[in-house]
Amino acid sequence: MLFFVDLKNIYCFMKNLCALLIISIFFFSCDTEIKIKKTDYKQYITILGIAQDGGYPHIGCQKICCADFYNGKKDRKSVVSLGLIDLENQQKWLFEASPDMHTQLAQLEQHHLKKAAIIDGIFLTHAHIGHYTGLMYFGREAYGKKNIPVFAMPKMKKFLTNNGPWNQLVSLQNIVLKNLQHDSTMVLNQRLEVTPFLVPHRDEFSETVGYKIEGSKKIALFIPDIDKWKTWNKSIIEEVKKVDYAFLDATFLNQHEVKRAISEVPHPFIQETVSLFQNETLATKNKIVFIHFNHTNPTLQKNSKERREIEKLGFHFANEGDNFEL
Ligand SMILES: [Zn+2]
Ligand SMILES: [Zn+2]
Ligand SMILES: [Zn+2]
């Protein structure tokens, strides 16, 4: 009799343990994104942030998009940024100095390349808050070290040199501004080249550039912010065909999302980009990786049906921790 009870207890215990295991596997797999994917690449781009300038969650937003973060259903997302890593030459660069730059630099150090210099250089696209304000962390209130190379176009450089608090970073030599020119290639080492090019955008304080990043094996295009594709003097279709990856402005999914005049915040809607490429080959569509998502954009979230439908057509969406070989 005693033996029978014990067996029953063991059976109950095992049953509970199994249930617990199943619940925890489900819980962790549906709620937690794997941030860092291990890679054997020697030279690659890693995604450090995917959100539009205001980040996710977004200031003042009480709607379901951001409520999902506060009630624990969705992860926080960092503001757009790419890390460029060359393990053979032991070098690392950042594209964009986002307001999340402090943690993005830590990610680079912890998961990609540890070395004495915090970064070998930062490439800026333009003077909107998501793209340069991370420079504040280099000031004497925070990091306070010397001579961090910051690559900037002429108006961007002027903006940083002539306006506080940024000019203090320049005068104290926390940062050293390096000149970039439209369509002029910067050789980083024997295997890596970077070329900035002008794109139309709301240029209140600076010009705006995209970048072509060329490795020994692959080429990437990075255009996180641009007005409509038709306002650019180049064809985005032709530009995408010339590269292996194209990280493109995905601020809004479509017109319905924009509550203010689109002239105030012009961007190519994801749906416009998708229809522009509808007659192109699957191989061309495969090159596109959407990035720079507004908090209201349902495709910011990995499992949204809107995102899955566009993925089925061959397009990709950037996730923090994704790596792309160069
Ligand atoms: Zn932006
Ligand atoms: Zn929101
Ligand atoms: Zn912008």
**Mean pLDDT for the chain overall:** 91
Mean pLDDT of 162-188: 98
Q: What CA–CA distance (Å, rounded) separates 3 from 7?
A: 6
pTM of the model: 0.89
pLDDT at residue 257 in the model: 87
259: pLDDT confidence band, cut at 50, 70 and 90?
Answer: confident
The pLDDT, as a whole number, for residue 15 is 57
Please report which ligand is nearest the Cα atom of 201.
3
Closest residue by Cα to residue 320 from 9, 41, 77, 11: 77
Distance 297 CA to ligand 1 centre (A): 14
pLDDT for the residue numbered 11: 54
Which stretch of DSSP H or E encloses residue 239?
Answer: helix 236-241
The ligand that comes nearest to the alpha carbon of residue 226 is 3
CA of residue 313 to ligand 1 center, whole Å: 26
**pLDDT average, residue stretch 155-161:** 98
**260-303: per-residue pLDDT in tens?**
776 777 899 999 999 999 999 999 999 999 999 999 999 999 99
Cα distance between residue 78 and residue 91, in whole Å: 23
List the shell of residues around ion ligand 2, using CB closer than 5 Å. Answer: 58, 61, 65-66, 295
128 CA distance to ligand 3 centroid (A)?
A: 5
- Indicate if the pLDDT at residue 133 is higher than 70: yes
Instruction: Please state, in angstroms and rounded to a whole number, the distance separating the CA atoms of residues 136 and 58.
Output: 20
Q: Is the pLDDT of residue 210 over 80?
A: yes
pLDDT confidence of 104, banded at 50, 70, 90? very high
The environment of the single-atom ion ligand 1, i.e. residues with CB closer than 5 A, is 53, 128, 130, 225
- Distance from the CA of 267 to the center of ligand 1, in angstroms? 10
225 alpha carbon – ligand 3 mean position (Å)? 5
pLDDT at 14: 53
What pLDDT was estimated at residue 138? 98
- List pLDDT tens digits, range 14-63: 555 545 444 444 444 333 344 556 679 999 999 999 999 999 999 999 99
Q: What is the pLDDT of residues 215-231, one digit of tens each?
A: 999 999 999 999 999 99
Q: Which ligand is nearest to the CA of 69?
A: 2
Going from the Cα of 55 to the center of ligand 1, the distance in angstroms, rounded, reads 10
Ligand number nearest CA of 52 is: 1
Q: Name the residue with tokens 């990437």.
A: 220
Q: 303 burial class (0-12, 13-18, 19+ CB within 10 angstroms)?
A: exposed
Beta strands in 200-244 (DSSP E): 209-214, 219-223
Which ligand has its closest atom nearest to the C-alpha of 99?
1
Q: Is the pLDDT of residue 155 over 90?
A: yes
pLDDT value, residue 16: 56
Average pLDDT, integer, range 126-132: 98
Determine the average pLDDT of the residues in 70-95. Answer: 98
Q: Could you tell me the pLDDT band of residue 9, with boundaries at 50, 70 and 90? A: low
> In angstroms, what is the span from residue 206 Cα to ligand 1's centroid?
13
Query: In the structure encoding, which two tokens stand for residue 85, read together?
Result: 């890593």
CA of 149 to the centre of ligand 1 (A): 22
Distance 17 CA to ligand 1 centre (A): 48
Cα 214 to ligand 3 centre (Å): 24
- For residues 21 and 236, the model is more confident at 236
The confidence score (pLDDT) of residue 39 equals: 78
Sorted by sequence, the CB contacts under 8 Å of residue 218 that are 6+ apart come out as 243, 244, 245, 324, 325, 326
* Ligand number, closest to the Cα atom of 53: 1
Burial class (CB in 10 A: 0-12, 13-18, 19+), 118: middle
Å from CA of 201 to ligand 1 middle: 10
Percent of the residues in the chain that have a pLDDT greater than 90, as a whole number:
83
